[in-house]
Every structure is written in structure tokens, then in C-alpha cells.
Amino acid sequence: MTKEEEGKEEQEQVVTPWDVSGGADGKIDYQKLVKEFGCSEISEELISRIERCTKTKAHPFLRRGLFFAHRELDEIVTAYEKGEKFYLYTGRGPSSESLHLGHLVPFQFTKWLQDAFKVPLVIQLTDDEKFLWKDLQLEDCRRLARENAKDIVACGFNPETTFIFADASYMCPSFYVNMVKIAKCVTFNQAKGIFGFTGDSNIGQIGFPPVQAAPSFPDCFPHMFGMNKKSLKCLIPCAIDQDPYFRMTRDVSHRIGGYKPALVESRFFPALKGESGKMSASDPTSAIYVTDTAKEIKNKINKHAFSGGGATIEEQREHGANLDVDVPWKWLNFFLEDDEKLKEIGEKYGSGEMLTGEIKQILVDVLTPMVEEHQKRRALVTDEVLDLYFNPKKTPKVFLDLFREYEEKEFGKWEKKVAGDSGDDDDLCKALEEKMKLEGATENEEGCAIGAPKSEDWLRIRKERMQQDAPTEGSKSALKKAAKIKAAAEKKAAEKAAKAAARAAKEAAAA
């Protein structure tokens, strides 16, 4: 092969957030991607550590190397082992009425992460991104965002710990502040290098990456995580196509005063017609959608699933199937949970003992109940249920508890400083207000998400909590302080009552 031909072959693999196509053989070379992008492969040892610290068996996607790459996932795990929490951030660009099975992959995995680590989750719906890239009206994208959110909720996320937002509706001052700060750190030349923008890209597209980068910082969600950019670390589950956004984010994180987000990245769930094909809404036979009926699933698999099996029964019996290209086999690797059964199918089908029709039938039997279950759960997601996830007014207890861990640590520090400065410790909230001022947060910023609790609400919630909650290590000093205030108030009231009684006795004696 000439140097020129080699170069051409090198160029053929394209993986960006908007385009994914394989190399000369149509396949994605994941090893090459890891090298090119500069991420790391997930080791067996890291998986064992995750199992140990969560006391949960690894999800099949992790055990089977389908989530295969990461950036600083090991650091998130190390911090977690020491008792530090983090939050999860993932998303969807709403460009079609429903999700295909590939889209379920990151959401099912995120649900597992949320349950295993017991951490909060934010989900971004980039209605603005799809408006800028697709031939769609913004109003359509906003509607699709809510439709897609129903499918996301149907994956089983806990409303107490999950916040879903669509960009065109949620954008709030602290989100915008993060975006502007990120945008200033990236030159147009760098953006061209990372995302491949050209002179024909509209300027909305060029300006978009900070929108997807910003939720990597917890202060985009002041109603959940408070105003400090370093209150929590962030872990992002996604397929590897989203890596460019977060490569850029990680490069600028320290310059805007935040932690680098960590990532856990998956391979692509292949298209029905073969790995080199594309799952596309314009070709319904290229994918299975979560809205498909049992009949459609069966027809699509039988007619369109690319087979690595022999062309005839005899050939299959003699040579067995090529599992490297066989779509039913690849799909079973994603969605058949039973490891033993999967192994047995691989052996029998690979050796020719099992025929193509049989493995296709097994796939139909796995996917049909999975999709039907999904549809049943989705039917339960009414507008009211959806509003629970989209509501930035709620400050679910879990967020308060989470934020408290950080706040108590910090609060103690400032509490001392304020008490030392003024000698006046009459008001529990004063130290916190002072702390916020010292951190440069204005009152407006503190309650900046649309409908987020205003300062005074938040301080009241905090005060009540301090008085009601059982003492934890961190809250002891605050509780002591509350008890001191209460005792002082009781003493004052007793003195007042004694004075009033003495006055009454004096008046009675005089009369």
C-alpha cells in the first residue's frame, strides 16, 4: 500500500458528535479512538473497585467492555471510596419522536450508576443543538425534548434525585455565566480543530459547545448544588461520540475554577443493517425504536438484521458464523443479561451448531418484552409526572443532604471567622450570608435558577434542618449554636416573665 493510500485509509474513520462512520472496512477502530482522543481503557481492576465500593455487581455493559473507555473515572472512585460524592450528567439531542435502542444504552447505564453510587443526576436536552444542526423549527425541538424525556423517565430514574432540563427553557444566570467563561477560553481555531467547524458553519453551531460543557459544573444548578463550582465532582456517561465536547471542557476547567469532569464512554450499539450502516430516523428499517410493536420488531430482525452466519444451512453447519460482524450476536451482547446463556449462544452459533434463524428468534424473544415493558412504563409518564423531573423549584431532600456535607465543612470555617470578626453569633444565618458574600455570590445568583428557592427560603430551610436533624459530625457545632440561641431566648423570656410578675406583685401590694 502506498503512503497516500495509507493516509486515505487513516482519514476514513470519523467520530464526532454529529457524524460517525467507520474506517475502510466500515468498522470503528476503538483502540485507535482511545489513542487519538487521549482517554484510557477501563481495566478489570477498576471494575472490581467499582463493585467493591458500591457493593453491586457490575452492569453487563461494564462487565462486557461495552463501556470501555474513561477519563479520570478512577479518581471519582478513589474519592468515593473516601466518602466523597459526585453527580452524574448525561443528555440527549431531541431530533426524533422517539429513541432507538442505541439511545437506551447510556440511559440504562446511567440509571445503574445512579442506583449503585446513590448520587444525583442531571439530564440535558439540547433542543437548541438540534435546532442549529437539523432542518427543524425550534418549537418542534422543544416539543421533541419533552417527548424524548418521557422515554428517558421510562428508564426508571428516581424523581427525587434526577433533574431534567431543556436548554431553551432552563437557561439561567449562573448557567449563562459558566457558558461565557468557557467560551472565552476557546479560540475559533481550537473549536475548528476539535469539532471540524468550517466557514459554512452557522455561528450558533460555533457558539454551541459551551452549552453542553457548562452542566459539567455544579453551580449551573444552584437549587440543587449551591453556588460553589467545586462543591461536587461530575461524572459523564455517554457514547464516545460526545468526547470532543468534554475534551474541550476538561481543557478549560481549571481556568474557570472548576474540577475537570470525569467520563465513562461506550462503544456504539450497531445499526441493524451492519456496523458500517447508520441508525437513521429517515430509514425506519435501520433501527428498532422504543415505539415499535412486537410485529415490527420481529419483521425488522428477520428481514434486515445483518447476519454473519453461512449463506446456506450447510455452510453455517460447516463453518459457523462470523461473530465479528453478526448484528443479532452483537445486540444480544448489549441486552441479554444472562452471562452463561450468552456464552453458550456464542459457542453454538460460532461453531455452526446454531442457525441464523435460531439466534434471530432468541433476539426477538429478548427485545420484545424489553420494549413492551418500556412502553408500559412510558404510558405512566403523564405531564404531571414529567413536571416532577423538570421542576427547578423542588429542592429534594437528597440534594439538601448532599449539599449539607459540603456546606457543613465550609460553614464551620466561615462560622469561626464571622464569630471572630463580630463577636456576635446571634443569628445562625449570618455566617452563611457572610460566607456567600466572601465567595462573591450575590443574592440574585444564589437563587438564580428559574423558580429556585430564593435566599431567604433557602436559609429558612437550612435553619429548620439544623434544628431538626440528628447531629452529624459536621452539624454538631451548628446545633450547639442553635441550642445556645434557644437557651438565651428562653432565659430572656424567663427574665421578662419574672420582671412582669415582680411588677404585678408590686402593683398589687401598692393597691
User: What is the binding site for ligand TYM (CB under 6 A)?
Assistant: 17, 89-93, 102-103, 105-106, 124, 126, 129, 212, 236, 238-239, 241-242, 266, 268-269, 279
The least distance separating ligand TYM from the CB of residue 14, rounded to whole angstroms, comes to 14
Residues 16, 241: Cα–Cα separation, whole Å: 5
Residues 161, 141: Cα–Cα separation, whole Å: 25
**Residue 141 vs 431, nearer CB to ligand TYM:** 141
Main-chain phi, psi angles of 281, to 5 degrees: -65, -25
**Residue 267 vs 481, nearer CB to ligand TYM:** 267
- How many CB atoms sit inside 10 A of residue 335's CB? 18
Residue 116 makes CB contacts below 8 A (sequence gap 6+) with 50, 54, 56, 59
Q: Which three cell numbers stand for residue 364?
A: 426477538
Reported residue count of the chain is: 511
The least distance separating ligand TYM from the CB of residue 494, rounded to whole angstroms, comes to 59
The least distance separating ligand TYM from the CB of residue 348, rounded to whole angstroms, comes to 27
The least distance separating ligand TYM from the CB of residue 217, rounded to whole angstroms, comes to 13
Q: Which three cell numbers stand for residue 58?
A: 457490575
**Residue 91 vs 258, nearer CB to ligand TYM:** 91
The least distance separating ligand TYM from the CB of residue 130, rounded to whole angstroms, comes to 7
Residues 179, 209: Cα–Cα separation, whole Å: 9
The least distance separating ligand TYM from the CB of residue 461, rounded to whole angstroms, comes to 29
Let me know if 368 is exposed, middle or buried by CB neighbors in 10 A (0-12, 13-18, 19+): middle
**Residue 174 vs 212, nearer CB to ligand TYM:** 212
The least distance separating ligand TYM from the CB of residue 468, rounded to whole angstroms, comes to 36
**Residue 67 vs 406, nearer CB to ligand TYM:** 67
The least distance separating ligand TYM from the CB of residue 359, rounded to whole angstroms, comes to 21
Q: Which residue has the cell 424473544?
A: 365
Buried-exposed string 35-54: b where 16+ CB fall within 10 A, e elsewhere: eebebeebeeebbebbeeeb
Q: Which three cell numbers stand for residue 185?
A: 477560553
**Residue 68 vs 411, nearer CB to ligand TYM:** 68
**Residue 243 vs 446, nearer CB to ligand TYM:** 243
**Residue 28 vs 402, nearer CB to ligand TYM:** 28
Spell out the long-range contacts of 74-78 with Cβ–Cβ below 8 A and sequence spacing 24 or more: 74/46, 74/49, 75/233, 75/262, 76/233, 76/235, 76/262, 77/46, 77/49, 77/50, 77/53
Which H or E run includes 22? none
The least distance separating ligand TYM from the CB of residue 6, rounded to whole angstroms, comes to 28
**Residue 266 vs 316, nearer CB to ligand TYM:** 266
Buried-exposed string 224-242: b where 16+ CB fall within 10 A, e elsewhere: bbbbbbebbbbbbbbbbbb
